[in-house]
């Protein structure tokens, strides 16, 4: 081999050796990557090319009995960051600059601290929440900046926010939810597990280098499903009426708070549950926690004279008294157990009916004495006092009814006319429903149907708890309570023209926690009754806490009952029992204001600003029948939204004028009145949060 050939051979061997070494290194590296560290790099690739997407389904909707939504979930955006998201920037310096830019964009767009955003963009966490429920304007601007600046760490996804379309209407009843969509008050709390969406809702998808999901995704874990829907016994229009009239009553009497309850006595269905002061759950931060309280269930008061109903019913059922029996009321002053009981006026020998009609404390105390402790306690317990009603709402109080072994002589007398025990407004309304429902106590409830995500329904049936008094006793007491609203009774302002009204006024002193005595100036005024008295469709309780000036239930609570009952009966289409009274109407707010300046109880009879023929006539058997219409008749628009008004007007081919916005609080002509040819017809709408006193004058 020549020297030249040997040199070539050496070079060939060197090149071959070098290539072999390089090849061995490549093989070794490949073995290391694909065998030894394959799991690590597989996980990295998985994170780089796949994305886990958390799906969220909406919370169930709450409907009223007419399937109008009262609480629903609406789609909103939330912002998050993924600090460990891998990127394809040319250098680390450029990536750091982009992270600072992303932090600045988040801070300025969402009005958040820059230092906090910078810290989160440089975190070692995979996922961090930035802000929930951003506004549509914020979402649009942020999306635009993310696209322009190519910022892979910032993500926007859809979630749901609870929304209450009628603002403060039914707020304490419905309650509200927290940031994590959990129920915190009201129905939202009571039925939280049913309303919440079901399943983890995880999906996996492939993403591009900007973090966007591309192609189809596959399910990972349980599928997310919407929560169950609730259909309530509440009628949203009646709820609006109750809140509107209660707010008027608070303003005119200067009361601190109040509530109105409307029940169907035959079933226990709650048609309305109004509390004032109210709040708007859509703007929760603007209100105090005290405004959230459902006073109709959680607040307890001494029931006062409304308690006399149940003392009389118990005594009649035990036959220790008879309906025509006379009891001497000691001319207004009676000494029991070292204490003096007084009546508001001196009364002598009067009947049991007159004891209720004139609300005699002394007469009620004597009836309680005939029953004695054990029997009175048993009946009051059977009426529901001292225990919760079982209504499907949170926060219900039991009230206070001591065991009879702890009663002194004066306690027996005081409890007989409504002092010395406490009750919630709901307990009192449910007890009154016993008298209206032939002696049977029904359990109040607000959820009528539960509709699951798969469409299956659960229907909640009415529940009769017990027969408290006989039907005969209940009918006797019913007839007695009618006299309370007749001339000379304490509840004449509760009358609804065209209908017989049965009820009872109540005015009770409040206990002063500081002095441990009854307050000299704090009262609770109430009226509870049912209508039409012969065939009750509604039990209504109106209660005002700490009114100023005039404090009697017959003067300030009874008118609320009357106006709620009048509009509700009209809304439900219940014909009047006495159509000849239809030319009489409820006293106006101005008339009531004048009455409140006077002492004592007056019967008020005001003429309507509209005079019209009776729209209901009576057949030979005394049954009410509608006459044949001679022309278009004005329907009831009270409580309707503008959209519903326009739909109804179109159906009835009416050309009417809409004044204001919100829901209808007033209309002209009144419902059921014939519409004269060529006359102007109008409805006035007010926002739910605004509670103006109704005027009887037409708008100019």
CB 478 within 8 A of CB 436: yes
CA distance 606 to 587: 6
Q: What is the DSSP string of 324-351?
A: T-EEE-GGGEEEETTEEEE-SS---EEE
Output the six-digit token pair for 676. Answer: 């004269």
Phi, psi dihedral angles at 259 (to 5 degrees):
-150, 155
Instruction: Select from 227, 221, 177 the least CA-distant residue to 197.
Output: 227
Q: What is the DSSP string of 114-154?
A: HHHHHHHHT-S-S-EEEEEEE-HHHHHHHHHHHHHHT-TTE
- Burial label for 606, CB within 10 Å (0-12, 13-18, 19+), is middle
Angle at 342 between CA 339 and CA 345, to 5 degrees: 170
| Exposure letters 674-685 (e unless 16+ CB within 10 A, then b) | bbeeeeebebbb
> 101 by DSSP, 3-state: which?
helix
> What's 351-378 look like in SS3?
EHHHHHHCCCHHHHHHHHHHHHHHHHHH
CA distance 117 to 99: 10
Instruction: Select from 43, 53, 41, 89 the least CA-distant residue to 214.
Output: 53
Centroid of chain to Cα 503: 26
CA distance 555 to 596: 7
Output the six-digit token pair for 624. Answer: 């009410």
> 402 by DSSP, 3-state: which?
coil
CA distance 532 to 264: 12
Of 57, 73, 252, 305, which is the active-site residue? 305
Output the six-digit token pair for 329. Answer: 């009321």
Centroid of chain to Cα 381: 28
Instruction: Select from 66, 309, 50 the least CA-distant residue to 204.
Output: 50
Instruction: Select from 378, 334, 355 the least CA-distant residue to 468.
Output: 378
Active site residue 123: no
> What's 304-319 look like in SS3?
HHHHHHHHHHHHHHCC
If one counts every other C-beta atom within 10 angstroms of the C-beta of residue 471, the result is 12
User: Among all residues, which ones are annotated catalytic?
Assistant: 305
């Amino acid at each position: 081999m020549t020297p030249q050939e040997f040199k070539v051979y050496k070079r060939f061997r060197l090149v071959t050796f070098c290539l072999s070494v390089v090849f061995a290194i490549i093989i070794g590296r490949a073995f290391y990557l694909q065998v030894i560290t394959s799991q690590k790099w597989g996980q990295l690739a998985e994170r780089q090319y796949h994305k886990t997407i958390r799906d969220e389904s909406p919370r169930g909707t709450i409907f009223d009995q007419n399937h109008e939504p009262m609480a629903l979930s609406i789609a909103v955006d939330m912002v998050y960051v993924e600090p460990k998201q891998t990127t394809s920037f040319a250098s680390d310096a450029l990536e750091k600059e982009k992270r600072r830019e992303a932090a600045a964009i988040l801070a300025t767009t969402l009005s958040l601290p820059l230092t906090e955003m910078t810290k989160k963009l440089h975190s070692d966490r995979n996922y961090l929440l930035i802000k929930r429920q951003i506004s549509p304007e914020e979402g649009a601007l942020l999306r635009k900046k993310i696209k322009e600046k190519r910022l892979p760490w910032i993500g926007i996804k859809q979630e749901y926010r609870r929304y209450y379309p009628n603002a403060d209407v039914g707020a304490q009843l419905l309650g509200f939810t927290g940031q994590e969509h959990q129920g915190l008050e009201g129905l939202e709390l009571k039925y939280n597990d049913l309303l919440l969406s079901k399943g983890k809702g995880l999906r996996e998808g492939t993403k591009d280098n900007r973090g966007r999901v591309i192609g189809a995704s596959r399910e990972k874990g349980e599928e997310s499903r919407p929560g169950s829907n609730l259909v309530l016994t509440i009628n949203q229009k009646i709820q609006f009426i109750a809140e509107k009239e209660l707010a008027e009553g608070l303003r005119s009497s200067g009361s601190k708070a109040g509530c109105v309850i409307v029940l169907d006595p035959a079933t226990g269905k709650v048609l309305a549950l109004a509390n004032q002061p109210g709040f708007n759950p859509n703007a929760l931060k603007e209100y105090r926690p005290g405004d959230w309280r459902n006073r109709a269930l959680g607040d307890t008061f001494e029931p006062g004279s409304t308690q006399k109903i149940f003392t009389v019913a118990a005594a009649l059922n035990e036959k220790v008294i008879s309906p025509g029996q006379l009891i001497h009321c000691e001319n207004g002053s009676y000494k029991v157990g070292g204490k003096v009981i007084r009546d508001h006026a001196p009364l002598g020998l009067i009947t049991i009916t007159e004891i209720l009609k004139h609300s005699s404390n002394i007469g009620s105390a004597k009836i309680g004495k005939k029953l004695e402790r054990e029997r009175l306690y048993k009946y009051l317990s059977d009426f529901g006092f001292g225990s919760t009603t079982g209504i499907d709402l949170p926060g219900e109080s039991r009230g206070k009814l001591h065991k009879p072994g702890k009663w002194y002589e004066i306690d027996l007398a005081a409890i007989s006319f409504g002092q010395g025990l406490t009750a919630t407004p709901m307990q009192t309304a449910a007890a009154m429903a016993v008298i209206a429902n032939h002696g049977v106590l029904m359990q109040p409830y607000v959820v009528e149907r539960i509709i699951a995500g798969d469409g299956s329904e659960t229907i909640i049936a009415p529940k009769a708890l017990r027969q408290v008094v006989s039907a005969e006793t209940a009918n006797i007491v019913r007839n007695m309570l009618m006299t309370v609203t007749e001339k000379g009774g304490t509840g004449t302002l509760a009358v609804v023209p065209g209908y017989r009204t049965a009820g009872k006024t109540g005015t009770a002193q409040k206990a002063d926690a500081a002095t441990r005595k009854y307050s000299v100036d704090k009262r609770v005024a109430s009226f509870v009754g049912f209508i039409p008295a012969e065939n009750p469709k509604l039990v209504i309780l109106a209660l005002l806490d700490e009114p100023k000036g005039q404090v009697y239930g017959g003067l300030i609570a009874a008118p609320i009952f009357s106006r709620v009952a009048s509009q509700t009966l009209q809304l439900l289409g219940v014909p009047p029992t006495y159509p000849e009274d239809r030319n009489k109407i409820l006293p106006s707010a101005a008339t009531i204001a004048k009455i409140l300046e006077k002492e004592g109880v007056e019967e008020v009879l005001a003429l309507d600003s509209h005079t019209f023929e009776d729209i209901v006539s009576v057949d030979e058997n005394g049954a009410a029948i509608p006459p044949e219409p001679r022309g278009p008749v004005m329907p009831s628009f009270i409580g309707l939204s503008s959209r519903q008004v326009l739909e109804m007007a179109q159906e009835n081919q009416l050309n009417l004028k809409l004044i204001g916005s919100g829901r209808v609080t007033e209309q002209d002509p009144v419902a059921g009145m014939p519409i004269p040819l060529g006359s102007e017809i109008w409805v006035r709408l007010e926002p739910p949060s605004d509670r103006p006193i109704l005027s009887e004058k037409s708008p100019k």
